Amino acid sequence: MSNWPSIDVLVKQVKSGQVSAKDLVDKAFSFIDKNRHFNVLISELKEQAYARATEIDNKIKNGQDVGRLAGIPFIAKDNFLTFDGYTTAGSNMLRNFKAPYQATSITRLLDEGAILVGKANLDAFAHGASTENSDFMITKNPFNETRVAGGSSGGSAAAVALDMAPFSLGSDTGGSIRTPASFCNVVGIKPSYGLVSRSGVVAMASSLDVIGPLTNNVSDGALILDVMSGPDQLDSTMIEKDKDGYGNFEPLKDLKGVKIGVLNDLMNEGLNDKIKIRTQEVIDSLKKLGAEIVDISIPSIDLSLAVYYIVCPAEVSSNLSRYDGIRYGHHDDSAVDLEDYYLKSRSEGFGAEAKRRIMIGTYVLSSGYYDAYYKKAQQVRTKLINEFKQAFSAVDFLVSPVSPDLPFKIGEKTDDPLKMYLSDVMTVAANLTGIPAISLPVGMIDDLPVGFQIMAPFKADRQLLQVSEIVERQFK
Amino acid sequence: MIEQKVRDSYKVTIGIECHVQLNTKTKLFSGSINDSTTNTVNHQTNHIDFGLPGALPFVNREAITLAIRAGYALNTEAQVFSKFDRKHYFYPDLPMGYQITQFEYPILKGGYVEIISDGQIKRIEITRAHLEADAGKSTHPAGANYSLVDLNRAGAPLLEIVSEPQMHTSAEAKEYCFNLYLAMKFAKVSDVNLFYGNMRFDVNVSVSKTDDLGTRTETKNLNSFRAVEKSIDYEVIRQIEILEKGGQIRQETRGWNDAKQVSFTQRIKENADDYRYMPDPDIPPIIITKDELLSNKKTMPVSAQLWRNKLISLGLELETTNLLLLAEADYDSSPLSLIDQAIDETDKAKTYANWIMNIELPLLERSEEAGENLIISSQTRQNVFEAAYSLKITGQINSTKLTELIGELLISKDKISDILQWAKDSGYLQNSNQDELAVIVKSVIQKNPKVVNDILLGETKAVGFLVGQIMKETKGQANPQIVNQLISQEINLLK
């Protein structure tokens, strides 16, 4: 159980003066101090956080409005651009980068009174599933220090699990919120594509990236999503939020009349047996609540990982082009000419995984290979979208495990990138199709957390949260 | 030197790509000001133009509207579906490492520009025109071990208009560029200021003795019609000389040195560039509705092409026509609309054209040079020209006085209520009164017996002196025809 009450309770306490924003920042830093050896935060924003807390406490004293998240400490993955501190994206390339503008999602949270207390570790440029690709440090799993926290939002997930804040932010391109949420026993929400502004978040793969919260419970996540979501002029790919928002749904009494599809294609090969059994137990509990359980097959789902590892590197190679050392970021001034400058700055600033993805991406986009790889992958992606649409005409939700594995040992997969890529097999389909998905903690196996994934049709985020909340109640 | 006969044995083929900077308030994908005339370096930039991490482009809808309107000016209609792609290459003035352009689905397809070639109207077809973001500007200070980058221009909206290779002389190419310029200017989609690079031309030239096209070269970034013409003349000769010596043309990009009037190799295209085009995932496709098309179509001003054809139909010279078209584009008061009103009365329309060319435009030019900013409204022009024309055809004024009168009226018409009365009072009208003039003629003849004697001896040229004296006496108002008549009557009496 978390040491933090739910966010709505905290906000009521702060507004009523029962606790101060400063008390909450104190509490956050007491856990940050205690758990520093887990390598969770790249930067701690103590001074700024206390200044904000004082500001909010004064406002409350003066009877001013302090917003829906008054005094709530939070932690952002370090690929969110923030006015406070550095924004490194976990990379040497941006080690000394101070952002001159701020992510829309951060600004929306701050506008509601939330307090940023730190920036969390991640795989450099969010490339990874274990946070081992960070250029700074490896985040350890809060439940077992010899194991990974998942990735790429490993720092964000561990931060919430270690009570450093009641919520954190992550980005999810192929599972980067859900996998670490599952490994760290927290709730991780990957909203519909375009529901939260991507402006000011270091882009990984633009057509796949989404922003979402990691929290102790579904209702906290729903509230944060409600604050962050909705159109932003700075992001042209956005969708309208649900007319009823996300923070105020009625808890369901049961799941009568709800049709839930089990993704059989994901329940077989390569799946840890104990996870398979746990997943089946969760499905049984849904059935007990009255849900109708249906087996669903998505014929192209076994291609989703292949499609993902073409589309994603292609967009990565393009999005990383701007890091040329000319205007900002790592640069090597010992270069003798322009080409040397590019070669040195980029070779030194990027780690092995970024280089690997740049090379794959450049290859699949190059003339003569574009049609065979990138275009073909996009065609399969369209097919996958249609197959999911068809599946959702038969069921309301789809369920599966989050990860084929329990949190693995640090170093276990780092020598074999392909093995690491396979960690994303359950999660990438939601990114390729843009649908919302959630990772819910469903207990422990061998003293390690395990998560359960629920997916909903595009834009059905509200319904997803509602059904997740009742599932969550079964495992508290 | 190449003999003319050899020169003529080659067929020249020219295609032109033109970058037009659209005159939107802000840039194509950011809220930064789009102003090519600013002097403060890196001033009109924000996180998007600067290519910061996490910065996303958003499409300036005003640029889409201007592209739609440019389409009508090019005799085509914008595509209801178009889309942006990324074109990758590394250069310090390209902040994101890719240019956002339209590769697969351009906003405009087809259309044409009419030119006059050998006195005939000829259509130069447009292949396509696409929207793209301009790059920044690099400068390389002489002797320095660094270059400078100014990103003010980065992200400015460009419409790249690609012609079919349908021009065959440098004169046609120049005409094409000029008419494209007029088309854009009349449609008001660009400031078309060539000095500030609002229009830049890339010229593709090849020569061949057969029907197959020869290897082409591209001379890039020409910023005047004259440079287009001269660089083509230069390139045609250069290519023919190489071929005549048995050499081969290398496919390459060339630059034009305007001071020396020569071009030089910039980049050799040995392999096709691989720009790794991909759809830009940050920008949803551009959808243009039928209503949007219709409302723009309805509000298009009269095109340069239509005006030009009207003026040509009056029998005006091409040069006069072009100057009038420029005037029409330059002045809000629409000088041509008055000509248009009189289009069925050829003499009147031509007279008006003549007055605009020879009286009004020099007047405006002088006023501008003096910093006076004279404005002639369309109403003033109409009142003045109509009154002047009726004086002219009724022979009440001589041509010198007429020019003076029109000039005077265009400047101060607003203070004059009755033009005819004013012209009379100010002495502009001719004195055709026989009796009055006869008195003056007689007196002048009496005062100049030596001149009269010369005339009687057969020196008829001396009559002019007498006329001059009479004009002096009458302050130039005497009707010269009547004066001449009266003089010869008087002289005859003396014979």
B114-125: per-residue pLDDT in tens? 999 988 999 999
What gap in Å lies between CA B49 and CA B67, rounded to an integer?
21
Q: Residue A34 is inside which H or E element, if any?
A: helix A21-34
Q: Choose the closest CB to B278 out of A100, A314, A320.
A: A314
pLDDT above 80: residue B416? no
Residues B360 and B444 in one domain: no
- The neighbouring-strand residues paired with A449 are A444
Q: Does B54 touch chain A (CB under 8 A)?
A: yes
Structural domain contains residue B296: no
Please tell me the predicted confidence (pLDDT) of residue B331: 87
Residues B76 and B31 in one domain: yes
Phi and psi, residue B190, nearest 5°: -145, 155
Angle separating helix axes B480-494 and B463-473, nearest 10 degrees: 120
- Work out whether the CA dihedral A433, A439, A444, A449 comes out positive or negative: positive
**DSSP conformation letters of A144-210:** EEEEE--SSSHHHHHHHHTTS-SEEEEEESSSTTHHHHHHHT-EEEE--TTSB--TTB--S-TTT-E
Q: Residue B242 is inside which H or E element, if any?
A: helix B225-244
Residues B447 and B346 in one domain: no
Query: Looking at B425, B460, B480, which one is the last position of a domain?
Result: B425
* Confidence tier at B272 by pLDDT (50, 70, 90): low
Residues B420 and B469 in one domain: no
Known catalytic membership, residue A2: no
- Work out whether the CA dihedral B468, B472, B477, B479 comes out positive or negative: negative
Please tell me the predicted confidence (pLDDT) of residue B426: 79
What gap in Å lies between CA B55 and CA B387, rounded to an integer?
63
Query: Looking at B425, B442, B459, which one is the last position of a domain?
Result: B425
Closest CA to A152 of A202, A82, A107, A191: A202
Are A153 and A144 a contacting pair, CB within 8 Å?
Answer: no
Please tell me the predicted confidence (pLDDT) of residue A177: 98
Please tell me the predicted confidence (pLDDT) of residue A266: 85
Q: Does B90 touch chain A (CB under 8 A)?
A: yes
Residues B53 and B195 in one domain: yes
What are the pLDDT digits (tens) for B144-166? 989 999 999 999 999 999 999 99
Cβ distance of B276 and A367 shorter than 8 Å: yes
Please tell me the predicted confidence (pLDDT) of residue A73: 98
What gap in Å lies between CA A212 and CA A354, rounded to an integer?
23
Q: Which residue has the higher pLDDT, A116 or B421?
A: A116
Structural domain contains residue B297: no
Distance of CA B478 to the CA centre of its chain: 42
Please tell me the predicted confidence (pLDDT) of residue A418: 81
For chain A, the straight-line distance linking the first and the last C-alpha, in angstroms and rounded, comes to: 9
Q: Which residue has the higher pLDDT, A348 or B474?
A: A348
Please tell me the predicted confidence (pLDDT) of residue A357: 97
Residues B257 and B347 in one domain: no
pTM for the structure as a whole: 0.91
Are A196 and A239 a contacting pair, CB within 8 Å?
Answer: no
Return left, alpha or beta for A415; rule: phi > 0 is left, psi -120 to 50 is alpha, else beta. alpha
Closest CA to A20 of A65, A63, A62, A72: A72
Q: Which residues, in sequence order, are CB contacts of A316 under 8 Å at separation 6+?
A: A125, A127, A204, A205, A354, A357, A358, A361
What are the pLDDT digits (tens) for B192-218? 999 999 999 999 999 999 999 999 999
Please tell me the predicted confidence (pLDDT) of residue A423: 84
Please tell me the predicted confidence (pLDDT) of residue B269: 72
Residues B26 and B63 in one domain: yes
Please tell me the predicted confidence (pLDDT) of residue B372: 86
Total domains, chain B: 3
pLDDT above 70: residue B317? yes
Residues B327 and B186 in one domain: no
Please tell me the predicted confidence (pLDDT) of residue B119: 85
Q: Which residue has the higher pLDDT, B91 or B271?
A: B91
Structural domain contains residue B102: yes
Cβ distance of B274 and A89 shorter than 8 Å: no
Instruction: Name every chain B residue with its beta carbon within 8 A of the beta carbon of A100.
Output: 47, 52
Residues B38 and B109 in one domain: yes
- CATH code of the domain in which B479 resides: 1.10.10.410
Residue range of the domain that includes B402: 302-425
Mean pLDDT of B104-117: 96
* Confidence tier at B271 by pLDDT (50, 70, 90): low
CA distance B77 to chain A (A): 25
- Tokens at residue A143, please? 């439940």
Residues of A at the B interface, defined by Cβ within 8 angstroms = 79, 81, 87, 89, 94, 97, 99-101, 103, 198-203, 205-207, 233-237, 314-315, 317-318, 320-324, 326-328, 338, 342, 362, 365-367, 370, 374
Residues B173 and B262 in one domain: yes
What are the pLDDT digits (tens) for B65-81? 999 999 999 999 999 99
Per-residue pLDDT 10s for chain A (476 aa) are 789 999 999 999 999 999 999 999 999 999 999 999 999 999 999 999 999 999 999 999 999 999 999 999 999 999 999 999 999 999 999 999 999 999 999 999 999 999 999 999 999 999 999 999 999 999 999 999 999 999 999 999 999 999 999 999 999 999 999 999 999 999 999 999 999 999 999 999 999 999 999 999 999 999 999 999 999 999 999 999 999 999 988 899 999 999 999 998 888 768 999 999 999 999 999 999 999 999 999 999 999 999 999 999 999 999 999 999 999 999 999 999 999 999 999 999 999 999 999 999 999 999 889 999 999 999 999 999 999 999 999 999 999 999 999 999 999 988 888 888 888 899 999 999 999 999 999 999 999 999 999 999 999 999 999 999 999 999 87
Q: Note if the bond before A152 is cis, omega within 30 degrees.
A: yes
* Confidence tier at B478 by pLDDT (50, 70, 90): confident
> Which residue among the candidates A22, A77, A119, A140 is catalytic per the annotation?
A77
CA distance A349 to chain B (A): 14
What are the pLDDT digits (tens) for B355-367? 999 999 999 999 9
Q: Does B144 touch chain A (CB under 8 A)?
A: no
Query: Looking at B240, B261, B291, which one is the last position of a domain?
Result: B291
Residues B178 and B325 in one domain: no
- Work out whether the CA dihedral A87, A92, A97, A99 comes out positive or negative: negative
What gap in Å lies between CA B58 and CA B284, rounded to an integer?
9
Please tell me the predicted confidence (pLDDT) of residue B493: 82
Which domains are delineated in chain A? Answer: 7-228 (3.90.1300.10)
Pairing of strands A167-172, A73-77: parallel
Please tell me the predicted confidence (pLDDT) of residue B400: 82
Residues B68 and B161 in one domain: yes
Cβ distance of A206 and B272 shorter than 8 Å: no
